[in-house]
A and B are shown apart, each in its own frame.
Chain A
Amino acid sequence: MYVSGEGNAEGEKGVIGIDFINQKGIMMVKKTLIYFGCIMVIILCLFPFVWILLNSVKSPKDIGASVPQFIFNPTLKNYKDIFSTAGSGSSFLHYFKNSLIITVFGTLLSFLVSIPCGYALARFKLRSEKVKSNVAFTLLSFWFGPELAVLIPLYAIYRYFGLTNTYIGLIMVYQVIGIPLGVWISRSFFEDIPTQLAEAASIDGYKLWHIFWRIDIPLAKPGLAAIAVLIFVFQWNNFVFALGIAGEKTMPVTLGILGFIGYSSVLWGQMSAAIIISIIPAIVLAILTQKYLVKGLTFGAVRG
C-alpha cells in the first residue's frame, strides 16, 4: 500500500511535469505566431510608404528601369526639383503653400467657432435636452452627407459672389470638416471636467466668460490641443472639396499632385518626393496625438 502510494504520487508528479513543459511549449509557439502575425501586418502597412520613399531618392534611370531596382545610388535631386522655383516640379511648392494657408486658417476658424459651441452643449441647461442633442446631430450629419450634393450648387453660388478659386471660399467650405469634429470632441472633453470648480466660481460671482476662460479652458488644454491637430489633419487630407471648387491658384497638394501625371512622361521621381513631403505633416501630427485619436475618429463616442 505504502509503496504503491508513493509510486502513484511520483507518477502524478511526472504527468504534471510533462503537462507543464507542454503548456510552456504551446505558449512559446503561440507567442511566436502572434509576433509573426504582428510583424506581417506592420510590413504590409508600411511597405507602400517605404517603396515610395525609396523611389523618391532614385535617379530617372533607376526609376525608369524595366524591373524594380532595389540597389541604386540614392540622390536628393527629386527633392531639390520640387523645392526649386523653376522647372517641371516648381508647381509643388505653390500647392504646398496653398495647403498650408487653407488648413492653418481653416483650423483656426473651426477651432474658435467650435470650442465655445462644444462648451455650451456640455454645460448649459437649455430648455430641453432634446434641443441640445438635435444641434449636435445636425452638425454631425453635415460631416456625413455626400459632399457633391453641396459642392455643385455651392460652385454656382460662389461664381455669383466671385468666391470661386479664392482662399476664403475654400476655407469656409473646409469648416464643414472642422466644426462638427471640434464641437463633438470638445463637448465630450468638457463633459469629463468636473463642474464643482465652475460652480464654486459662479457662487463667488464670477461671470460665465471668466469661468470658461480661466477655469475650464486651462483644464481642457491637452484635449483642446489634440482637437486642433485632428482638425488640421482632416482638413489637410481632404480631397473632394478641393476637387469641387479649387482652381489652379488655390489648389492644395492633395489635388495638385495629380498634375505630375498630366505631363507627356510621368515624373515618377518628383511625384514620389512630393507624395512623401505631403503626407509628413499629417502623419507626424497624428502620431503625436495618438492618445486622442480614437476619441477623434468616433466623434467623442468612444473614450480611447
Chain B
Amino acid sequence: MILPALLIPFLFVVIPFFIGIAYSFTNKNVVNPNTVFVGFHNYKKFLSNPSLFLSQLKVTLLYAVLSVVIEMLVGFGVALLLNQKIKGQKFFRSAILIPLMAAPVLTALMWKLMLNPSGGFAVVNYFLSAFGIEPVLWLSNTRLVLFTLIGIDVYIYTPFIVIIILAGLQALPREPYEAASIDNAPKLFVFRKLTLPMLKPLILLVLLMRLIMAFKMVDTIYVTTKGGPGRLTRTLHVAAYLEAFKQGNIAVALTTMTVLFAVIFIICMSLVKAMQKEKKA
C-alpha cells in the first residue's frame, strides 16, 4: 500500500534530482551536443564570480528573511486581534483566507497591475496622490523593487501565519490563564511568559515552512520583474530558471540549484536542531 506513493515521486523526483546533480559536473547546454565531464569547473566559476553567486545569494536571503520576519510579526498581531471575542469572527477568518488560496502567481499579477506607475489601473499611486505623493515606480525603481516584491509576498503569505497561529491560540489550555488572572498578572507578562512559550513549537514549525517556501519562491518574482531590473531581484531559483530556459546553460542552472539546495538544507537543519533542543528542554 505504501509502494505506489513512493514509486511515483521516486521516478519523477529522486532520479531526475540525481541526474541533475550529475549534469552540474558537465558542460551540458542546449547548443552543444557533446556533453563532457568537467569536474568542479562550474562550481568554481559560479562561487568565485561575485556578480553571480554573492549577488544572487544576497537577493535570496534578503527576500526570504525580510518577508518571513515581517509576515511573522504582522501575522502574529493579526492572529491576536482575531482571537478576541468578536462578532463575525467566522467571516473575518474566511476573508483572510482569500489572498492565500488564490494562486500566488495571479495575486502577484494583480499587484503588478495595481502598482502601474500611472493609468486607469494604477490605483495605488492614485491613492498616494491624494496625500500629495508623486507617482512611485514600484517595480522599476532600483532601490525600491526588492521591497515591493517583499510587500507582495507579505500580502500573500501573512494569512498563512495568521490562520495557523490562530488555531494554536484557540487550542491553548485555559487553566494557566485563569491562574494568572487570579494573580492579577499584567497582560504583557502573561503573553511573554505563558502564550509565547506554549506556542513556541508551533511558531518554529511555521517559521521553518515559510522560510523554505520563501527561499524557493519563483511565482511572484517571475510574474512581476523576471529578476530585473538588472539583477536586482534575481534570486538563485529565478536565476536558475533564466539560465536553463532562456540561455540554455543547463549545467550552470543545475549548479545554481545545487547551491540553493545546500543553502536551504543547512538553514533547515539548524532550525530543526533548534526545534529538537526545544522539545528536549
A48: chain B residues at CB < 8 Å are: 99, 107, 110-111, 114, 155
Judging by beta carbons under 8 Å apart, are A149 and B121 in contact? Answer: no
A146-B264, A176-B12 known; A153-B23 Cβ under 8 A = yes
Q: How far is the CB of A128 from chain B (nearest CB, A)?
A: 14
Instruction: Enumerate A105-147 residues with CB–CB distance to B below 8 Å.
Output: 113-114, 116-117, 119-121, 124, 135, 138-139, 142, 144-147
B159 on the A face (CB < 8 A): yes
Chain A residues near B12: list those with CB within 8 A.
150, 154, 172-173, 175-176
A-side interface size class? 35 or more
Residues of A within 8 A of B261 (CB): 145-146, 149
Given A48-B107, A117-B2, A179-B8, A153–B16 Cβ distance below 8 Å? yes
Interface of A is mostly: helix
Would B240 and A152 count as touching, CB distance under 8 A? yes
Question: Which chain A residues in 169-214 approach chain B with CB under 8 Å?
Answer: 172-173, 175-176, 179-180, 182-183
When chains A and B are docked, how far (Å) is the Cα of A283 from the Cα of B106? 12
State whether the Cβ of A93 lies closer than 8 Å to any Cβ in chain B. no
Q: Does any Cβ of A come within 8 Å of B228's Cβ?
A: no
Instruction: Give the residue of A69, A146, A279 whose beta carbon is less than 8 angstroms from that of B237.
Output: A146
CB pair A297–B164 under 8 Å, yes or no, is: yes
Instruction: Judge if A71 is at the interface, Cβ distance under 8 Å.
Output: no
**B25 within 8 Å of A by Cβ?**
no
Confirm or deny: B274 has a beta carbon within 8 angstroms of a beta carbon on chain A: no
- CB of A49 within 8 A of CB of B245, answer no
CB under 8 Å from chain A, chain B span 1-41 = 1-2, 4-6, 8-9, 11-13, 15-17, 19-20, 23
State which residues 252-304 of A face B: CB under 8 Å: 254-255, 257-258, 268, 271-272, 275, 278-279, 282-283, 286-287, 290, 293-294, 297-298, 301-304
- Asked whether B281 is an interface residue with its Cβ less than 8 Å from the other chain, the reply is no
CA distance A142 to B86 in the complex (A): 40
Enumerate chain B residues within 8 angstroms of A51, measured Cβ to Cβ. Answer: 110, 114, 123
Check if B95 sits within 8 Å of A157, measured CB to CB: no
Asked if B258 is at the interface (CB within 8 A of a chain A CB), the reply is yes
Question: B209 at interface (Cβ–Cβ under 8 A)?
Answer: yes
Please tell me if B132 contacts chain A, counting CB pairs below 8 Å.
Answer: no
Query: Judging by beta carbons under 8 Å apart, are B118 and A66 in contact?
Result: yes
Given the complex, which residues of B lie within 8 Å of A148, measured CB to CB?
218, 237, 240-241, 244, 253, 257
Of B2, B19, B106, B264, which contacts A278 at CB under 8 A?
B106
Residue of B nearest to A65 (CB): B120
Q: Do A153 and B20 touch (CB < 8 A)?
A: yes
Contacts of A101 in B (CB 8 A): none
Chain B residues in 8 Å Cβ range of A179: 5, 8-9
Q: Is the CB of A135 within 8 A of B81?
A: no
| Chain B residue at minimal CB-CB distance from A252 | B103
Nearest CB on A from B202, distance (A): 7
Q: Is the CB of B4 within 8 A of A117?
A: yes
Residues of A with C-beta under 8 A to B118:
66
Convert B76-102 into 0s and 1s, putting 1 for each residue whose CB lies closer than 8 angstroms to a CB of A.
001001101010000011111111111
Q: At the interface, yes or no: B113 with Cβ under 8 Å from chain A?
A: yes
- Contact partners of A124 in chain B: CB under 8 A: 1
- Interface code A147-163, partner B: CB below 8 Å = 1, 0 otherwise? 11111111111000000
Which of B9, B78, B104, B216 makes the CB contact (< 8 A) with A142? B9
B22 CB, nearest partner CB in chain A, Å: 8
B73 at the interface (CB under 8 A from A): no
Does the CB pair A149–B168 fall under 8 Å? no
Residue numbers in B under 8 Å from A217 (CB-CB): none
Residues of chain A contacted by B264 (CB below 8 angstroms): 144, 146
| Interface set, chain B 191-246, CB cutoff 8 A to A | 202, 205-206, 209, 212-213, 215-216, 218-219, 222-223, 237, 240-241, 244-245
**A154–B202 contact, CB under 8 A?**
no
**B residues near A302, Cβ cutoff 8 Å:** 164, 167-168, 171, 202, 205
Question: Which of the 9-residue segments A9-17, A82-90, A220-228, A233-241 touches chain B?
Answer: A233-241
Q: Does B126 contact A (CB under 8 A)?
A: yes
Taking CB as reference atom, which chain A residue is nearest B245? A244
- Is A240 within 8 A of B219, CB to CB? yes
Central interface residue in B93, B105, B268, by most chain A CB within 10 Å: B105
The interface bits of chain A over 41-68 (1 if a CB of B lies within 8 angstroms of the residue's CB, else 0) are 1101110110110010010001111111
**Does any Cβ of B come within 8 Å of A35's Cβ?**
yes
Q: Chain B: which residue is nearest A132 at the CB level?
A: B2
15 A-B residue pairings within 8 Å (CB atoms): A51-B110, A65-B120, A121-B2, A145-B17, A148-B244, A152-B250, A152-B257, A154-B16, A156-B19, A173-B12, A258-B223, A268-B121, A287-B94, A293-B97, A297-B164
**A-B residue pairs, 8 tightest by C-beta:** A117-B5, A237-B103, A286-B101, A153-B20, A149-B257, A116-B1, A120-B1, A279-B102
